[in-house]
Structure 1
Amino acid sequence: MTTATPAPEPTPEDIARGLADLEHHLAVNTPAPSATSPAGATRETRRVQRLRAEVAEAHQLARLQSDDAPLLLDTPKVRKRRRAAHEAARLHALGQDPAMRAWQAARMRRVVVCAAMVSLTLALAWSTAGVQHFAADGAGAWSPSWVFAWLVEPFMSLALLVVVGSRAYLATRGQPIASRTLVRIEWLFLALTLGMNAWPYLPWVAEEFSLSRLVLHVLGPIVAVAVVTALPIILAAFTDLHHGTDDRLTGLTYGENTHDPVRPPATDTAWPSVIEMPALVQRARALITAGELPATPSAYKLRQVLRCGMDDARAVRDALLAEGMA
């Protein structure tokens, strides 16, 4: 068995040589210091890094704040106001359109007629109790006379509503009924209703006169009289309503009637200036005699039948009214 020979101890020359080799190795492998960082500078702390980031952010914000592009954009509130203004302008322009104005007038006319008929129905229903008290003439409750007395006002009201409803409907269609017979029938029913409601409460009839009771019982018939009187006047005004500012809007109603004996041919572009009003009036009188027009036709009906402009129709209507009053 052999034993290891111990290594010789290094001499001072060996130690000096090793230190020199180590210094050379470190000098070769150690990187050069950065150009932005001074030699021997220590590592940046987190506080320095945060401050450096804040400074960089401030420089960027300063450059962006000098740009006015964000101020040129519309905010949501501005967009909302602009949209509302644009919508209002379009609605206003649409409201000036003759077709829209005609539609609005027709809708309002239906509302007026419905409201008038409902008011008339309620007024006649209000007077039912007063008419029943008059017709029963003191009969006992649930006796035949007492029961049948409740039917007096309804059948008169239904007859009156038939007349008023027919006149109102035909007036909305541009052909109002000008009949004195129907007017007399309306006033007869209303006078009967008013008389039967007021008679038991008149000063010389009632045992103890009360003005409030009299007013309450005549209120229904008075409202009915007001509705029946005002409704034809209102509908006549709706019928004569002119929805446009240019009568050329009505040209489609007569543009193709080249064989009309009153109007010149459609190829004549100057026909509005050569119309003879007496010819239109004479033709309207002939149609009234033949029964194709009512005795007092409206301007709307004359425009439809004569195929003329609204101004001409109004002139013919005024001429016919003047002849009737002469």
Structure 2
Amino acid sequence: MKQPNFNSSTADDLRRDAEQAARVRTLSNHPDVVALRAEKVRTFVDTLVWLGIFLGMAFTMVNVQTFAAAGAVAWSLPWLAAWLLDPMVSLVLVAVLRAEQITARYQVHIGVWAHRTKWFAFLATYAMNTWRSWMHFDVAGVVLHSVPPVLVFLAAETAPVLRDRLTEAVTRAADHAFSGHAEPVQQPAPDTVHGDIAQPARPARRSPRKPKAARKLRGDYLAEARAAWTPGIEITPAWVRSVCPDISRGTSKNVADDLRSETTTEGLLTVKAAAERREEAAA
């Protein structure tokens, strides 16, 4: 039986395509490439969010000025002073959002007062925007003047979460690469030609893999951090990583948030009770 004659140039083209695809796949999963892509997405998201926030603030400024002027004569001192109310609230809100933009990049907890400030700025702006509509039971006016402040508030709350998730994506890519999970891509072996037929070379035998250690879950890290924590220690992602050396940055933040919520007034009693039970069991 006559064997088919394969074109050697076609095999060379396929080999080059395979090598090129292997290199592209390797570089696409490189943590630096992932970080660069995430940074581009972060910049695009920040631009759109800030644009929406400033447009919403510009819309609410007129309504707040009308509320604050309370029928004052145009260009009088009370009428001019009324224009300062909305920028006063908006500038504080922008300052908080800008601080969150930086802290979210490094997954640092900004504290409860930042959230309280945002809530107060939102409620104040919303009340001043919709006061007249509520007084006259104008449903259309309530809807019209509710959309901009509510959208600004939602953007202010969502933007830090989006930045935190983008940072966590970069961190997971780096942890995956440096923990040895990403296997190096082997280049295709050159074909061994027998007569007119290109016979692929046999792949080299792989050495048996070592059994992987049991993967720790978030609850395991939380238990280790809970056992190491004592009153007076500030719970931060960096501290969690110091007591759990093999934890990733993204998981350390989640564990720090969980442990911080446990150390409230009610949660602290639970932690103390658990510690007493451990001491009794050890005795």
The answer as to 2:225 corresponding to 1:281 is yes
State whether residues 168 and 232 of structure 1, in contact with CA within 8 Å, keep that contact through their aligned partners in structure 2. yes
Q: Residues 148-227 of structure 1: matches in 2 within 5 Å?
A: 148-177=81-110, 179-202=111-134, 205-206=135-136, 210-227=138-155
Change (3 A) 1:153 1:107: same
Residue 255 of structure 2 is aligned to residue 318 of structure 1: yes
The TM-score with structure 2 as length reference comes to 0.61
Q: Which residue of 1 aligns with 2:278?
A: none
Identity of aligned residues (%): 24
Q: Is the 8 A contact 1:194 1:222 kept in 2?
A: yes
Structure 1 partner of 2:62: 129
Amino acid paired to 1:103? L
CA 1:243–1:155: 2 relative to 1, 3 Å: same
Question: Residues 216 and 319 (structure 1 numbering): CA distance in 2 closer, same or farther, change over 3 Å?
Answer: closer
From 229, 235, 246, give the equivalent of 1:309: 246
Q: Report the counterpart of residue 166 of structure 2 in structure 1.
A: 238
Q: Report the aligned-residue RMSD.
A: 4.0
Q: What letter matches 1:314 in structure 2?
A: T
Any conservation in 1 of the 2:93–2:118 contact (CA below 8 Å)?
A: yes
Q: Is the alpha carbon distance of 1:195 and 1:315 closer, same or farther for their aligned partners in structure 2, counting shifts above 3 Å?
A: closer
Contact kept in structure 1, 2:30 and 2:177, CA below 8 Å: no
Gaps of 5+ in 2: 1-6, 182-212, 268-283
Q: What is the aligned partner in structure 2 of residue 229 from structure 1?
A: 157
Aligned length in residues:
217
Q: CA offset at residue 168 of structure 1?
A: 2.0
So what's the TM-score if we normalise by structure 1? 0.54
Residue 218 of structure 1: CA displacement? 2.0
Q: Is residue 248 from structure 1 mapped to residue 179 from structure 2 by the alignment?
A: yes
Partner residue of 2:77? 144
Of 106-115 and 128-137, the range deviating more from structure 2? 106-115
CA distance in 2, matches of 1:190, 1:124: 11
2:50 maps to 117
Distance change in 2, residues 1:197/1:168 (3 Å):
same
- Partners of 2:51 and 2:109 in 1: how far apart? 20
Cα drift, residue 315 of structure 1: 6.6
5+ long unaligned stretches in structure 1: 1-70, 251-271
2:133 maps to amino acid = Y
> In structure 2, the residue corresponding to 1:108 is in which secondary structure?
helix
Compared CA separation, residues 103 and 192, structure 1 to 2 (3 A): same
1:281 and 1:320 in contact (8 A); partners too = no
2:45 paired with 1:105: no
Where do 1:67-78 residues align within 5 Å? none
